[in-house]
Amino acid sequence: MGKDYYSILGVPKTATEDEIKKAYRKQALKWHPDRNKDKIDVAKAKFQEIGEAFEVLSDKDKRTIYDQYGEEGLKAGPPPPGGAGGAGGFPGGAGFGFPGGMGDDDYDSFGGAPGGFSFGSGGGGQRFKQRQSSAKPPAIKRILPISLEDLYKGTTKRLKVTRKLRDGASGKYVTAEKILTVNVKPGWKAGTKIRFPNEGDELPNGQQQDIEFVVEEKPHPIYTREGDSLRMTIQLTLAEALAGFSKHIKTLDGRTLGVNNSNSVVHPGQESRVRGEGMPNSKTGAKGDLIIKYDVKFPARLTDEQKEGIKKLLA
């Protein structure tokens, strides 16, 4: 019967492309060898099997063949147009290469695919083979976490990647390391993609995968981002809200910004806006605004004397 790739990923046969991607990500993280060092051999086999299942089910052509003929159909190659032919109903065989998948690597060190997976060899329909070999393989995607400070100011990231390349002399796959440089521009947002063509693993057909980094914004203890605006909350005592206050806050580029109020009462949840102190726009360079929300802390209890004093003051 061959392998049940749907069961391996834990999805139904009707699963959408997004569902398959999510399932693959979940299973790959669960069985990554670095997370299962107490059962490394089992994890490696499982991780390889998960990558194999994903490469088949995420490719429309391979998935169609698999759904109709199973794993044996992939080994044998595509069926001829309009009917059967050759041994077992398939004309020879066509090869499919399977790079490994996305792991849970260190942020600044990105491992390549854990080996390759291959089905079959030999003849096969010439047009199908040409189409299969000329199609650009999927990129290896990696998450690139970046702090809000670096997204504000811009920075340079040097990322070490590990990939598998075929040795020209022996024909065997060898592991190679390379440093890729990402110039982070001020104002980049989460989801920004940076692609390095042909810097990934080399496949059996000689093609090399691209590597694509996707920016992920690290959580910040003070600021949150809304487009080109920044948000923060300032805590005020009841006395400060009623009688005025003067505060100093540190900006993302290390400056000290003064925030004060002495002319009006601040209500709980009230907001103020500081123009031009938000995030820079990566295209125009113009900065958004800083939005400050005030959280007024009321005392848990008051003495009778304090109550009388407040009544007199506010009467």
Please state the rounded mean pLDDT for residues 184-192: 96
Highest mean pLDDT out of 21-25, 32-36, 95-99, 181-185: 181-185
State which CATH number among 3.30.479.10, 3.40.50.740, 3.20.20.60, 1.10.287.110 fits the domain covering 5-73.
1.10.287.110
Task: Name the CATH architecture for the domain at 223-297.
Answer: Sandwich (2.60)
Separation CA 82–CA 187 (nearest Å): 55
pLDDT tens for each residue of 204-241: 888 899 999 999 999 999 999 999 999 999 999 999 99
pLDDT tens for each residue of 123-137: 444 444 454 455 788
Report helix, strand and coil shares of the chain as percent, to nearest 5: 30, 30, 40
Check: CB of residue 273 under 8 Å from CB of residue 289. Answer: yes
Q: Give me the numbers of helices (H) and strands (E) for the chain, helices first please.
A: 8, 14
Domains 5-73 and 140-217 share a fold: no
Show me where the domains of the chain are located.
Answer: 5-73, 140-217, 223-297
Lowest mean pLDDT among 57-61, 76-80, 83-87, 90-94: 90-94
123 phi, psi to nearest 5 deg:
-70, -110
Quote the CATH superfamily of domain 140-217.
Answer: Urease metallochaperone UreE, N-terminal domain (2.60.260.20)
pLDDT tens for each residue of 269-286: 999 999 999 999 999 999
